[in-house]
Amino acid sequence: MPIAKLTVEVAIPHAQSIKDRRQVVRSMKDKLRHGFNVSVAELDDASLWNRATLGLVAISNSAEYLAGQMREIDDALYRLAASLGAEVVDSWVEMVGE
């Protein structure tokens, strides 16, 4: 059974405190969870106020479906980050169990 993992690095240039960072990260996580029904977790230790790394995971019977879903999520992440005053620095997908 295939599993897809999308890792995203986000820059938050306007963040002046951990509270600013947390606000953007929480909003991204909530919107992704509800919009795509995926698991989302923060992968870094929050030591930098203006950076965040998120991990998203989905599982399905179809590797093709997961690949398409990850493309949709990646596209949505760029739009979502821009609407929150953030920027996607890098993103990559790993498929496991194909």
> CATH class for domain 3-96?
alpha beta
H helix and E strand count, the chain: 2, 4
| Apex 39 CA angle, 53 and 73, nearest 5 | 70
Residue extents of the structural domains in the chain: 3-96
Per residue of the chain (98 residues), give pLDDT as tens.
899 999 999 999 998 888 999 999 999 999 999 999 999 999 987 777 899 999 999 999 999 999 999 999 999 999 999 999 999 999 999 999 86
CA distances 19 to 46, 49, 82, Å, are 11, 9, 19
